[in-house]
Amino acid sequence: MLRRIAHHLFWTARHLERAEWRARLVDVHYHLLVESPPRATEPWTPLLAITGEADAFAERYIAADERSVLDFFTFDEANPSSIRSCIYAARENARALRHRISSELWLELNTLHLDAHGWSPAMLEQDGVFGFFADLRDRFYRIAGIVDGTLPRDLGYEFLTIGELLERNENVARLLDVKYHYLLPRPEDVGGPIDLLQWAAVLRSASALEAYRRAYGNAIAVDRVVELLLFDPTFPRSARFCVDQLGAALRRIAAWNAAGPVSRAPATDPLTAMLTIPAGSDVIRHGLHDFLLAVQDECARIETAVFDDYLRFE
Amino acid sequence: MILRIQHRTHFVYDAPAYESHNELRLAPVDGPGQRCLAFGVSTAPASAIIEYADAFGNRVHAVSIHPPHDALAILAEAVVERTAAAPPARTRDVTFAEFLAEDDARSQEYQEFLTPSRYVPFSDRLRRFFWQARPRPTEGVGEYAARAVAYVRDQFEYEPGSTDVHSTIEDLLTSGGGVCQDFAHLTIGLLRLAGIPTRYVSGYLAPVSTAPGNPPPEQATHAWVEALLPGSTWTGFDPTHRGPTRPEHVRIGIGRDYADVPPLRGVYRSHGTTQTMGVDVRIEPLAAWTGGVPGEQ
Amino acid sequence: MGPWAIPRSSNDQVMLDSAAYETNGYYDEMFAPGLVPRPGCTRVIADLVNLPGARLTELRTRADRMFLRMGVTFNVYGGEAGAERVFPFDPIPRVIDAETWVHIEAGLVQRIRALNAFLTDVYGAGEILRDGIVPRDLIAGSPQFRHAAVGLRPPGGVFITVAGIDLVRGGDGRFYVLEDNVRTPSGVSYVIENRVVMTRLVPDLIRGCAVRSVENYPADLLASLREIAPGNTSRPRIALLTPGPHNSAFFEHVFLSQQMGVELVEGQDLVCVDHALYMRTVHGLERIDVLYRRIDDDFLDPVVFRPDSLLGVAGLMAAVRAGSVAIANMVGTGIADDKAVFAYTPAIIRYYLGEEPILPIVETHLLRDPDVRRMVLRDLDRYVVKPTGASGGYGVVIGPKATYRELAETREHIERDPRAFIAQPVVSLSVHPTLVGGGTHGAPAFAPRHVDLRPFVLFGATPRVLPGGLTRVALREGSLIVNSSQGGGSKDTWVLA
């Protein structure tokens, strides 16, 4: 497998995952605001904090109101991480792969690209938000289904997996960090209705609310949210699940080497070790924020290792 | 005489260079009055080197260095024996009127050395320049060649810096000054327009004398021309020095112009943008040569 | 009238109406004068040509849809959007009987042998030049003569591994060579895909006619590439070098690489290390023994050719010199398809093979000769003027179709630089019944349209000729231009067993 091809596979998956993640964030946050009592401070700024784009936003937009933030997140082509930009980038990477992916996948990506081309902010007006993001969510699920159903599980598939999971892993950590650290409520608000609404939103962004209730019941407790989203090895969007899959993919990639498997500990081992901890309350007690930063650092380190070992070709 | 030539080329890169691929034309060819007794080339960092002959019979060394390196040093060493050229056998200089009768046959046989080339375009400026010094029908071909050589040198200053290695004759004609490469190209233009097959020679000019025991003075590669005079063979002229070539001229190789015989040409990859190049050529006479490939450094 | 009954007009029948189908004296591939079927065409006429118009139109529509679905498109140059279009296809195949093909095949094999010998000589000892058969300055003065190839001896002396030789049939019914294409000839993917589509449309007819298969081409190409591999590797590693998706022939590059099971690479995927060629894979550098390159010489190696090229790989020529990699086609083959050299190809065949040329070439006049030049310029509107390798920048001028001003300009160019042009008399290209109209374009009918033929010839250890080739058809009435980018289409070509 050519490095260039693996490179494009990795980035196609990463851009798609980022686009999907953004769509989830916006969708959930929008509904959170609808369901919450009105606040004095800007209700849309937490979204910018989660993605770390407050500064980029401030460069070109005046106020963090609904219209501006939605525009920035969804349509803004000058924002390389907007949903539209991510979709363009994913399709651009896939174009180099066109003869190696299934025609169904290419058709789907190309159609999504064309549709994104035609998006306009008017689509979000007058209760359009709900429908827009519901549609988008379905598109991403469909892509996942086509990938799952049509692509052979070859070396290239592993790089798709790695791109997707690295992105997912980072985003879960970021999401938790921002809610916990940035949106720190006043002591008297902890456990209050707003706090709980926000934690529920966090779970919904990861499609984890029902899973949480099944595991822990209706009462939302921070340490249990952390447990589910960071340490649960069975939930598909937990960091632990992601790193397990990442490690397996790296081992399979090493095994694909015709010259013989390279005996080298996968770059994911340290992160796997970090995420194999019994109790969320322990981590919280010792400093969740620092822990989450360390998780994100590990993700960056894994990406660098993957690039150095397999993807760098220039 | 026997000459020992050491040609060092040195590159320093602002960011490491890698995947460096180069062609060297530094090995003197054998020819009339010249025998290359030994030649060796080495590089630091070490590289895989292969040798082959190009379309003009020049000796080419392909040098390839894959891993990143901050600098590249190339050392070429040659031992060359030079003897004085045998005096030409012809008795009289053919006139242009007679010379042009054979133009057709010559233009077929020596097409490459009669037509424009990359550094010697037949521009309007060149044609005007040629017209000023054009041969007369009764003039001897050899006589004209010598005159053209002197004419070129007289019109221009030897001025390093007015032109660069990519300059064509147009640049010389507009700037008024140039170096040996430019004089050679312009002379080629004049001679070709007169129908005389002329080729570019890359080589060295050994210093006239070096007192034994003194270090050889710094040199550089030199450029001159060879013209195919009627009834004779390729005859060397050095436009920079306004006259025919001498035993001190050591030929590395020939071509249509500089583009065919650059001492070094290549590409490399780097995240940086600049390379600094230095060249150091030392030529010294040897009393005798006992054999063996010149030592590597 | 022909020997079978052709129904007269009715709204839903396409008829080969002898009154309406007028070949204007051109040789018709399918019918002798009086609508008499030529050898081998009877069944096609009965089972296909005689179908009702609606059915024929439907076949054509189905074919187009199949091509679109299969992605058999070409990129029309000009425009970032790179509009992808289906190469127009006509469902009536062009039939070549076995006996005719024997003759053509022998002529093609003879040509590729002679051209390979020519290249080996011209980049080696130069005997044909010394013997004055081909003027030396013609070779030296052509930019297609690549100095970088002088002294190079490709394995087995094979310079040309893949050739596409354009043939036309004249009014006298004989096949003539119009031009050789021995650099990066393209079009074979259409040949194979056309057959795939026809096999789905009319499977019984193909079987019944005993049409020779073309599906082995990728296997034959792979075998030829393996045969030119240097050294003793038992299983040479092969890659196909493409300029990338923006190239108009990219579909073919993808197609062939997939059919042969070889890696499709771009310049950035390749690297030379210690004068051997490798590709950059996930698990490290993998050696390549044979590079089937679909990029021009100019872009192949920035050390030796254009230094600004990113399409090739630095140091490739040194690796070829070192004997560690073979490239197909070899550098410098362009001198063999230079239009001026073309005029000498009969002499080239005689010189190297000691045989008379089996396939004549279209009369080709070198305008460097003043008498010839005078003759051509006197009747310039009766000639096709083509630029030789030495010209750079001029296009082909078709005399009878050119405007007065174009002719005047051409005359001026020729006077100024006669060595830059050759002239060929306009050949009365043969015609073939082609479905016109139908669908939204009015009632379907058959009309004669000019066709040519590009067979493909492979040469590894031995020559292999693909039965048939690409029949290109000029879809516009009276047009002689069969290029895809200028309104041409194609037909399946059936060589009968």
For C229-261, the pLDDT digits (tens) are 998 778 999 999 999 988 888 889 999 999 999
User: Do C95 and C40 meet the contact criterion of CB atoms below 8 Å apart?
Assistant: yes
Which chain C residues have a beta carbon less than 8 Å from that of B111? 136-137, 140-141
In this predicted structure, what is the pLDDT of residue A57?
Answer: 93
Neighboring chain C residues of A257 at a CB cutoff of 8 Å: 283-284
The pLDDT tens digits of the residues spanning C171-217 come to 899 999 999 999 999 999 999 999 999 999 999 999 999 999 999 99
> In angstroms, what is the C-alpha Rg of chain B?
20
Which range, B266-270, C385-389, C439-443, is most confident? B266-270
Contact state of C282 with A259 under an 8 Å Cβ cutoff: no
Question: pTM for the complete prediction?
Answer: 0.90
> Is residue C18 scored above 60 in pLDDT?
no
Q: How far apart are CA B181 and CA B164, in angstroms?
A: 9
pLDDT at C47 over 50: yes
The verdict on a CB contact (< 8 Å) between C280 and A4 is yes
Question: Chain A residue closest to C252 (CA)?
Answer: A99
Tokens describing residue C313: 């790989």
The reported pLDDT for the residue numbered A140 is: 96
Angle at A130 between CA A126 and CA A135, to 5 degrees: 120
Of B52, B56, B265, the CB nearest to C303: B265
Q: Rg of chain A's alpha carbons, rounded to an integer?
A: 20
Three-class DSSP category at C224 = helix
Which pLDDT value is given to residue C266?
A: 97
Half-sphere exposure of A135 (CA within 13 A, CB side): 11
Alpha helices by DSSP H, listed for C2-97, are 42-44, 53-70
HSE-CB at C154 with a 13 A cutoff on CA atoms is 32
The CA distance from A290 to the nearest CA of chain C, in Å, is 34
**pLDDT for the residue C11:** 45
Mean pLDDT of the residues in chain B: 89
Is pLDDT above 70 for C485? Answer: no
- What integer pLDDT is reported at residue C79 of this predicted model? 38
Tokens linked to C145: 């003569």
Q: Does C273 touch chain B (CB under 8 A)?
A: yes
Structure tokens at A58: 């401030």
The pLDDT of residue A191 is 76
CB pairs under 8 A between A and C: 42
Tokens at A4, concatenated: 């260039």
Nearest residue to C446 (alpha-carbon basis) of C22, C11, C8, C68: C22
The pLDDT value recorded for residue C19 is 59
Q: What is the average pLDDT across C74-101?
A: 76
Three-class SS of residue A252? helix
Q: Which of A54-58, A159-163, C1-5, C391-395 has the highest mean pLDDT?
A: A159-163
Whether A191 and A94 share a structural domain = no
Q: Which two tokens stand for residue B182?
A: 């430019």
Using 70 as the pLDDT threshold, list the residues of chain A that sit under it. Answer: 37, 39-41, 181-185, 258-264, 278, 314
Minimum-distance CB partner of C271 among B19, B23, B54:
B19
Q: Is C400 left (phi over 0), alpha (psi -120 to 50) or beta?
A: alpha
Choose from C70, C268, C280, C283 for mutation: most chain A CBs within 10 A. Answer: C283
Given a cut of 60, is residue C1 above it in pLDDT? no
Question: Looking at chain C from residue 289 to 328, which residues have their Cβ under 8 Å from any Cβ of chain B?
Answer: 302-304, 307, 314-315, 318, 321-322
Residue C128 Cα, gap to closest chain B Cα (Å): 13
Residue C209's SS3 state is: helix
Q: Domain end: A107, A133, A150, which one? A: A150
For residue B294, the model assigns a pLDDT of 56
> What amino acid is encoded at A253 in this protein?
I
pLDDT tens string C329-339:
999 999 999 99
Kindly state the tokens that stand for C488: 């041409």
> Other CB atoms closer than 10 Å to residue B84's CB: what's the count?
9
Surface-to-core class of residue C441, CB atoms within 10 Å of its CB (0-12 exposed, 13-18 middle, 19+ buried): exposed
| Residue A28, token pair as written in the block | 């959930």
Mean pLDDT of C57-86: 73
* Contact between residue B60 and residue B226 where contact means Cβ atoms under 8 Å apart: no
**Which residues in chain C are contacts of B19 at CB distance < 8 A?**
271, 314
Q: Where are the alpha helices (DSSP H) in B32-89?
A: none
Which is higher by pLDDT, B241 or C351?
Answer: C351
The sign of the CA dihedral A296, A299, A301, A307 is negative
Chains touching A (at least 3 CB pairs under 8 A) are C
Three-state DSSP state, B6: strand
> Inter-chain contact C275–B22, Cβ cutoff 8 Å?
no
Phi, psi of A166 (to 5 degrees): -60, -45
Reported as a pLDDT band with limits 50, 70 and 90, residue C10 is very low
Check residue A52 and give its pLDDT. 83
Chains with 3+ CB–CB pairs under 8 A to B are: C
Total residues belonging to chain B = 297
Name which of C23, C26, C30 is nearest C49 in CA terms: C30
Q: Taking CB atoms and an 8 Å limit, are B48 and C274 in contact across chains?
A: yes
C89-103, C266-280, C384-398, C438-452: segment of lowest average pLDDT:
C384-398
Chain C CB contacts of B115 below 8 Å:
141
Q: In this complex, do A4 and C269 lie within 8 Å of one another by their Cβ atoms?
A: yes
All structural domains of chain B, each given as residue ranges with its CATH number in brackets, are 2-83+272-286 (2.60.40.2250), 96-260 (3.10.620.30)
Alpha helices in chain A (DSSP H): 3-35, 45-51, 54-60, 66-70, 83-95, 103-117, 128-150, 155-177, 193-205, 209-216, 222-226, 239-255, 269-274, 280-306
Give the tokens for residue B200: 């570019």
Does the CA dihedral A99-A105-A111-A117 come out positive or negative?
A: negative
Out of C136, C141, C318, the one facing B50 most closely (by C-beta) is: C318
Q: Helix H segments across B226-273?
A: none
Looking only at Cα atoms, what is the longest distance across chain B? 62
The partner residue sitting opposite A2, judged by closest CB among C71, C258, C265, is: C265
- Secondary structure (3-state) at C362: coil
Of A2, A96, A159, the CB nearest to C281: A2
Domain count, chain A: 2
Pick from B19, B50, B56: which is nearest to C314 by CB? Answer: B19
The answer to whether residue C453 scores a pLDDT higher than 90 is yes
Assess contact for B234 and B35: CB atoms under 8 A. no
Residue A95 at interface with chain C, using a CB cutoff of 8 Å:
yes
Supply the range of the domain harboring residue A201. 154-314
Sheet holding B234-238, edge to edge: B243-244, B234-238, B221-228, B198-205, B249-255
Q: Which residues 252-291 in chain C show a CB within 8 A of chain A?
A: 254, 258, 263-266, 268-269, 279-284
Chain A neighbors of C245, CB-CB under 8 A: 95-96, 98
> Residue C388's Cα: distance from chain center in Å?
18
**Is some CB atom of chain A closer than 8 A to the CB atom of C228?**
no
Contact call for C283 and A310, based on CB within 8 A: yes
For the ranges C161-165, C289-293, C400-404, C461-465, the lowest mean pLDDT is seen at C400-404
Tokens of C433: 């019944």
A26 in the same domain as A45:
yes
* pLDDT of the residue at C6: 37
What is the model's pLDDT at position C402? 87
* Residue C129 touches partner B, C-beta closer than 8 Å: no
On whether both A76 and A211 belong to a single domain, the answer is: no
Identify the CATH class of C231-324: alpha beta
Lowest mean pLDDT among B71-85, C19-33, C91-105, C225-239: C19-33
Other Cβ atoms less than 10 A from the Cβ of C4: the count is: 11
Beta strands in B66-106 (DSSP E): 69-82
**Looking at CA atoms only, how far is residue C265 from chain A in angstroms?**
8
**Which of A200-214, A238-252, B33-47, B87-101 is least confident?**
B87-101
- What is the DSSP code string of C42-57? HHHIIIIITSBHHHHH
**With contacts defined as CB-CB under 8 Å, which chain A residues touch C265?**
2
Q: What percent of chain C has pLDDT over 90?
A: 68
Among A230-244, B33-47, C18-32, C242-256, the least confident range? C18-32
Instruction: Return mean pLDDT, chain C.
Output: 89
The rounded distance, in Å, linking the Cα atoms of B133 and B152 is: 10
For residue C13, the model assigns a pLDDT of: 53
- Contacting chains of C (3 CB pairs or more, <8 Å) are A, B
Preferred mutation among C122, C274, C299 to probe B, highest tally of B CBs within 10 A: C274
Cα–Cα distance measured from residue A134 to residue A214, given in angstroms and rounded to the nearest whole number? 24
Are A146 and A165 part of one and the same domain?
no
User: How far is residue B59 from each of residues A88, A244, B83, C317, C450, measured CA to CA in Å?
Assistant: 52, 59, 21, 15, 53
Domain spans, chain C: 231-324, 365-425
Band the pLDDT of C4: cuts 50, 70, 90.
very low
Sign for the pseudo-dihedral over CA of C142, C147, C149, C152: positive
Among candidates B226, B195, B203, B10, which has minimal Cα distance to B105?
Answer: B195
Measured between CA atoms, the residue of chain C closest to residue B66 is C273
Do both A308 and A293 map to the same domain?
A: yes
Q: Does C275 touch chain B (CB under 8 A)?
A: yes
CA distance B89 to chain C (A): 26
Kindly report, residue by residue over C398-448, the tens digit of the pLDDT: 888 889 999 999 999 999 888 889 999 988 889 999 988 876 777 788 889
* Predicted confidence (pLDDT) at residue C5 exceeds the cutoff of 70: no
Whole-number CA gyration radius for chain C: 23
Residue that terminates a domain, selected from A122, A150, A178 = A150
Distance from CA of A98 to the nearest CA of C (A): 9
pLDDT score of B293: 57
What is the average pLDDT across B100-119?
A: 88
Specify the amino acid at residue C321.
Answer: R
Chain C residue closest to A312 (CA)?
C282
Q: Does C365-425 match C231-324 at the fold level?
A: no
CB atoms near residue A111 (< 10 Å): 12
Q: Indicate if A159 and A21 belong to the same structural domain.
A: no
B:C CB pairs within 8 Å? 64
Which residue from C306, C310, C351 is spatially nearest to C120, judged by alpha carbons? C351
Instruction: Indicate which of C136, C145, C331 best probes the interface with B, i.e. most B CBs within 10 Å of its own CB.
Output: C136
ipTM of the complex: 0.90
* Residue C99 C-alpha from the chain's centroid: 22
Q: Residue A78: how many CB atoms within 10 A of its CB? A: 10
Strand partners of residue B177 = B157
- b/e map B220-233, b = 16+ CB within 10 Å: ebbbbbbbbbbeee
Residues whose CB is less than 8 angstroms from the CB of residue B279 and which lie 6 or more positions away in sequence, other chains included: B7, B8, B9, B10, B220, B221
- Whether cis (ω within 30° of 0) applies to the bond prior to C3 is no
The pair of structure tokens assigned to B5 is 């030539």
At B183 the three-state DSSP class reads: helix
Report the sign of the C-alpha dihedral through residues B99, B100, B102, B104, in that order.
Answer: positive
| Under 8 Å between Cβ of C316 and C267 | no
CATH class given for the domain over C365-425: alpha beta
Looking at chain B, the whole-number percentage of residues with pLDDT higher than 70 is 92
Q: Touching check for A258 and chain C: CB below 8 Å?
A: yes
Contact (CB, 8 A) for C146 and C389: no
- Looking at the complex, does the CB of residue A305 fall below 8 Å from at least one CB of chain C? no
Work out the average pLDDT over B93-99: 84
Query: How many other β-carbons are positioned within 10 Å of the β-carbon of residue B113?
Result: 26
- Match 């390379």 to its residue by tokens: B275
Q: For chain A, positions 16-75, list CB contacts with chain C under 8 A.
A: none
Work out the average pLDDT over B102-117: 88
- Average pLDDT (C98-103) is 96
Calculate mean pLDDT across residues B128-145.
91
Strand partners, B204: B221, B250
Amino acid B216: pLDDT = 60
Lowest mean pLDDT segment, chosen from B101-105, C293-297, C309-313:
B101-105
